């Protein structure tokens, strides 16, 4: 049976005054909750998981750490407004940690057993292109931009942009060899990658979320 969240008092009162709003999507009305005098229930860390949907979102992120918002939107089959509202509540309650990379916000459960370095690797490995570059560098114990471009089928300019991002994250380091620049994994990330690949299958399978509507 599909569970339906209870209609908050503030929304009932609002619709009684402005019945024409009944035709509007519920997500467009959520920002109006800020009018506290309407008497909606205050969400805190103690009761934030009383909502089965928020509990589902948090559990999904724990199982699939590092996903960004659009990935969560696709994987969980929720509307943008519904997902955004519940993610915001989880963050406000201190249960979700947001990490910004390459213009996207990636989510981890607060208290997850990942160091900042491992979070950076998890995020990078979630990107198909970055994962391919990291894997090739690791398997060959280093590679030039030209080699990475040939293997991936990408342009040298595109590969260069990606390896420079990985270098800024501290995942790879560069060393000039004549007219070429050779990229290798740093010692720390070589070890972290070995642990990551040992604990995960070659093609990580995400745990599907139950569609609660």
State pTM to two decimals.
0.70
Q: Is the dihedral of CA 72, 74, 75, 81 positive or negative?
A: positive
Task: Decide if pLDDT at 205 tops 70.
Answer: no
Q: For 46-51, which contacts have Cβ atoms below 8 Å and span 24 or more sequence positions?
A: 48/89, 48/90, 48/92, 48/93, 48/95, 49/95, 51/5, 51/86, 51/89
% of the chain exceeding 70 in pLDDT = 73
Q: Cα(78)–Cα(57) distance, rounded to whole angstroms?
A: 10
User: 159 and 167 in contact (C-beta within 8 Å)?
Assistant: no
Instruction: Judge whether residue 131 has pLDDT over 90.
Output: yes
Question: What average pLDDT score do residues 150-156 get?
Answer: 93
Mean pLDDT of 81-98: 95
Number of CB atoms found within 10 A of residue 198's CB: 7
In the predicted structure, residue 171 carries a pLDDT above the cut 80: yes
**How wide is the angle at C-alpha 99 spanned by C-alphas 148 and 203, nearest 5°?**
45
pLDDT at res. 47: 87
26-61 pLDDT, tens per residue?
555 555 554 443 444 567 778 899 999 999 999 999
pLDDT at 9: 54
What is the structure's pLDDT at 176? 92
């Amino acid at each position: 049976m599909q569970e339906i969240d209870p209609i908050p008092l503030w929304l009932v009162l609002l619709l009684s005054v402005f019945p024409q709003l009944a035709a509007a999507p519920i997500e467009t009305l959520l920002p109006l909750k800020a009018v506290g005098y309407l008497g909606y229930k205050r969400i805190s860390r103690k009761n934030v998981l009383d909502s089965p949907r928020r509990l589902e979102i948090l559990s999904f992120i724990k199982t699939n750490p590092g996903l960004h918002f659009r990935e969560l939107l696709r994987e969980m089959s929720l509307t943008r407004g519904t997902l955004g509202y519940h993610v915001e509540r989880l963050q406000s309650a201190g249960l979700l940690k947001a990490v910004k990379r390459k213009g996207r916000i990636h989510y981890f459960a607060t208290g997850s057993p990942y160091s900042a370095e491992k979070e950076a690797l998890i995020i990078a490995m979630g990107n198909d292109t970055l994962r391919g570059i990291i894997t090739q560098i690791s398997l060959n114990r280093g590679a030039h931009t030209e080699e990475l471009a040939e293997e991936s089928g990408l342009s040298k300019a595109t590969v260069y942009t990606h390896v420079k991002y990985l270098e800024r994250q501290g995942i790879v380091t560069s060393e000039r060899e004549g007219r070429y620049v050779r990229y290798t994994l740093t010692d720390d990330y070589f070890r972290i990658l070995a642990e990551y690949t040992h604990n995960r299958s070659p093609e990580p399978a995400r745990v599907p979320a139950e569609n609660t509507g």
